[in-house]
């Protein structure tokens, strides 16, 4: 059984009928968070716990990192509500909001990521209890979310007219930081210029963020104000040369279901190309995770 003080089992594995389970090492999570903190200095750590913390258990991971992270990033409103029930930290919704979710996001005090002036206007319209903080995203190359780079300044200058909107931060995303260093450096330079333009046009205390895991590991100059650490917190480096810095967080375990002695020359029915060619019987330990063992649904 795991050491409950330092290891937890995600709730979707909490069933004694499951013959395999995942164990999450809190110490490894905190170690990886320290690796991030040591690299980003005074910048704020936004711990990305989207997609159920990459399958590691949203609440369990967030609770383990509550002293390391300044704020958390989730994929959608559902995850934001789940996390708010456990922790008081600011929560940024990194994905786009559905129209029917806008009022609930505003009421919950979450930080939505917006990609147009019209979207910001919808949040401005539903505000009831003071200004809504937003993350203004700029598309500098990802092509998925954000105001187009060429339109960012014009759109940003319109935001002060929305009296119920407060700009929490401006951001962009590095799409190829794990494979194209030259493009990434050029993208960072462009984003840096945009940040200066926006701060000159609309003075304020809003923050800027762009670096994710690969960015924090290999492109930490400049850092900007917030670093969005995701996959590296879970012990996986998007850049192989930095893998040695991190500790794996998840251990996947299974109970032995059956032990079989396979005689010489016998074939494995499931794997016809594999057979025992030794003179002595070969002992095989069978767990057969997916074909034979009732397994918890693995959320990712």
Kindly compute the dihedral angle of the four CA atoms of residues 145, 94, 171, 163, in this order, to the nearest 10 degrees.
Answer: 100
**pLDDT for residue 261 is more than 80:** no
Entry pTM? 0.86
Residue 270 CB neighbours (<10 A): 9
CA distance 98 to 104: 11
* Domains of the chain with bracketed CATH: 7-251 (3.20.20.10), 253-292 (no CATH)
Contact 210, 190 (CB under 8 A): no
262 band by pLDDT with thresholds 50, 70 and 90: low
**pLDDT for residue 64 is more than 50:** yes
Contact 89, 70 (CB under 8 A): yes
How does pLDDT run across 217-258, given as a tens digit for each residue? Answer: 999 888 899 999 999 999 999 999 999 999 999 998 887 777
3-state SS class at 298: coil
Write the DSSP string, 174-209.
-TTTTT-HHHHHHHHHHHHHHHHHHHHHS-S--EEE
First to last CA, the chain: 24
Residue 166's H or E segment, with its range, is strand 165-171
Return the sign of the alpha-carbon dihedral for residues 169, 170, 172, 178. Answer: negative
Enumerate the H helices of the chain as residue ranges: 26-40, 50-55, 58-64, 77-84, 102-108, 117-126, 152-158, 181-201, 213-218, 289-292
Question: What is the pLDDT at residue 21?
Answer: 82
């Amino acid at each position: 059984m795991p050491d409950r003080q330092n290891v937890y089992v995600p709730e979707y594995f909490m069933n004694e009928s499951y013959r395999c389970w995942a164990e999450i090492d809190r110490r490894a999570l905190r170690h990886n968070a320290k690796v991030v903190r040591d690299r980003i200095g005074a910048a704020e750590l936004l711990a990305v716990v989207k997609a159920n913390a990459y399958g590691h258990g949203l609440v369990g991971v967030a609770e383990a990192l509550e002293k390391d992270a300044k704020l958390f990033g989730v994929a959608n409103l559902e995850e934001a509500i789940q996390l708010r029930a456990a922790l008081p930290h600011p929560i940024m919704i990194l994905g786009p909001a559905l129209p029917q979710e806008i009022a609930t996001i505003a009421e919950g005090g979450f930080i939505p990521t917006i990609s147009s002036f019209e979207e910001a206007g919808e949040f401005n319209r539903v505000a009831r209890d003071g200004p809504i903080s937003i993350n203004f995203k700029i598309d500098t190359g990802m092509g998925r979310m954000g105001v187009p780079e060429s339109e960012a300044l014009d759109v940003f200058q319109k935001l002060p007219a929305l009296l119920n909107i407060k700009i929490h931060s401006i951001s962009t995303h590095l799409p190829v930081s794990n494979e194209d260093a030259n493009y990434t450096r050029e993208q960072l330079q462009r984003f840096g210029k945009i940040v200066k333009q926006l701060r000159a046009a609309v003075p304020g205390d809003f923050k800027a963020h762009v670096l994710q895991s690969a960015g924090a590991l290999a492109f930490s100059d400049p850092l900007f104000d917030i670093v969005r650490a995701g996959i590296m917190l879970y012990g996986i480096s998007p850049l192989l040369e930095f893998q040695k810095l991190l500790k794996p967080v998840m251990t996947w375990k299974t109970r032995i279901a059956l032990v079989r002695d396979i005689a010489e020359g016998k074939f494995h029915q499931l794997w016809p190309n594999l057979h025992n060619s030794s003179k002595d019987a070969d002992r095989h330990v069978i767990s057969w995770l997916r074909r034979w063992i009732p397994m918890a649904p693995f959320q990712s």
